[in-house]
Chain A
Amino acid sequence: MADYTKPLPRPEDPELTQPFWDAAKRHELVIPRCRRCNAYFWYPRPACPTCLREDWKWTPVSGRGRLHTFTVVRQPSNPNFEPDVPYAYAIVQLEEGVRMVSNIVDCEIPDGLAVDMPLKASYDDVADEWTLVKFKPA
């Protein structure tokens, strides 16, 4: 792990998102959900984007979802990803409806990928303090 050279997450508002990263480290997925209008949303921001109230809580979700769309990376913007090409950069839609950016792992690239395929969360402990939430075929 010490030689992990790819970019680690750099939060704009670390206090806001720390509970997400703490949960990821426990291999759990939590998503903001509004207490007033019950909407899930992603990414985390101070106010619920549906009702604009600042009253939401981190809510555990199943980690199941579908591959909404993907592209196969052959030329990454950051050269430290070059040993991994080709890899899948994807938009994943969780059961709860929100969409997040991630990678598809444990899957043949590109032939094993198909839009709408079922996925489940897969936790990648890339550094002592950081676990990335990726997805694999369900």
Chain B
Amino acid sequence: MTMRGEAAIVGFYEMPTEREYPGRSTVSLLAEIARGAIRDAGLRPEDIDGIIGQESLNSMTLAEVLGAKPRYTASMTVHGASGSSSISTASAIVSAGLANYVLCIFGESRVRSSSRAVAATAAARVGGPGSRGAEWEAPFGPVIAANGGYGLIKQRHMFEYSTKQEQFAKCAVDERFNALLNPNAIWKGQPITIDDVLNSRYTNDPLHLLECVMPCSGGAAVIVTSAERAKAMPNPPVYVLGAGGPATRHDAIWQEEDVTTTPVIMSAPIALQMSEYSVNDIEFAEFYDCYTALVMATIEDAGFCPKGEVGGFYEDTDTTYKGSLPINTDGGQIAAGQPGGNAGGFRHVIEATRQIMGRADERQVEKSDLCMVNG
């Protein structure tokens, strides 16, 4: 027995992604987000009896802030995968009868800080506690933020498979196109070309600025309930047909045996088998995309093209919402922004839900019944 079709998403709410929400705290955003999702599902706050939240805020604090008394609560602690993993966890929880209406909620009000200020903070930590990173990485001068690891992945992908800079750039251009009409996207209304990507500065070679996410403020929530309950609710249910993971192969990229392979190689087959569909049946996809190299490796590892051939895939495939295989139809994180509190990866869940419910307005994809999401 699996949880195929046992649970469904029945409501969602997304705050527009912005650089900052001045004067507002993270818990203030989360209260608004929770209210929005509960209302969208046609529920009342007291109906929520399960809460799954972000890494940076323990779920007991979150319950207190939301005035809830959930009989099931958890925080996801798998970084960017926390948002999508909350859906497989919530589905298992409602299938097992541990809760009836699970609120999955992620978001953050970030204070915009210059990279210089972040760097100064990092420098101040020189005397801090020892760790694997402090002993074996920090003395060699890592790149700021997560850019370093993805530069290493991209470089190796270009070496092993002759993937070209223009092919990575096409990924960023398609995602930006998808963001143009998304009112919640940070880069709405601002198209870019392949040359724009190639001419943007190297954050760290071979990675260009326009291949990277921008840290933002915002967040989103969904309600997950049983398929049985979902039938009586106002929105068309978005059934969870299969799930795999959160799988992992390493924490530090230099511990990964195959630098260009992601844990999707483990999780996608499990999800597909449970769903009883094949990768060829998937109509559109929402894939974690903190950097072009990651969404591109995911496309390979999920089986949309053979390993190493994603460069050609991007040359031959229109991945915009008008295309033959729409990917990251809201712009993804690269073009719509990466709200904190693990809400960046959660935006893939939100957009999949929006499309399947038929609520994506001008961005509505032609076939929107079967989506693959990765966090």
Contact = CB atoms under 8 A, between A and B. Distances in A.
Given A68-B156, A101-B137, A89 B143 contact: yes
A71 B148 contact: yes
A115 B156 contact: yes
State the main secondary structure of chain B at its contact with A: helix
Pick the most buried of B141, B147, B202: most chain A CB atoms within 10 A of its CB.
B141
Given A68-B259, A71-B204, A75-B204, A12 B131 contact: yes
Interface residue tally on B, bucketed by range: 35 or more
Interface string B205-237: 111000000000000000000000000000000
State the main secondary structure of chain A at its contact with B: mixed
Interface stretch (B31-39, B119-127, B185-193): B119-127
A116 B160 CA distance: 10
B97 interface: no
A74 B254 contact: no
Contact of B143 (A7, A10, A77, A115): A77
B148 A74 contact: no
Contacts of B131: 10, 12
Contacts of B128: 10
Contacts of B116: 79
A101 B155 contact: no
Contact of A78 (B119, B130, B201): B119
A75 B145 CA distance: 10
Nearest to B259: A69
B275 to A, nearest CB: 33
A72 B203 CA distance: 9
Given A70-B155, A116-B159, A76 B139 contact: no
B139 A110 contact: no
B152 A91 contact: yes
B126 A7 contact: yes
A65 B204 CA distance: 23
A79 B152 CA distance: 21
Contact of B139 (A9, A70, A77): A9
B133 to A, nearest CB: 9
A101 B254 contact: yes
Contacts of A30: none
Interface string A94-131: 00000111110000001000011000000000100000
A109 to B, nearest CB: 9
Contact of B134 (A12, A84, A100, A115): A12
Nearest to A80: B123
B111 interface: no
Interface in B130-186: 130-132, 134-145, 147-148, 151-153, 155-156, 159
Given A12-B134, A103-B140, A132-B140, 7 more contacts: A7-B139, A10-B130, A12-B132, A73-B141, A74-B202, A77-B119, A87-B141
28 contacts: A7-B126, A9-B134, A9-B135, A10-B128, A10-B130, A10-B131, A11-B130, A12-B129, A12-B130, A69-B152, A69-B155, A71-B147, A71-B204, A73-B142, A75-B143, A75-B203, A77-B118, A77-B141, A77-B144, A78-B141, A79-B123, A89-B143, A89-B148, A91-B253, A91-B254, A100-B136, A101-B254, A103-B140
Interface of A: 6-14, 17, 43, 68-81, 84, 86-87, 89, 91, 99-103, 110, 115-116, 126, 132, 134
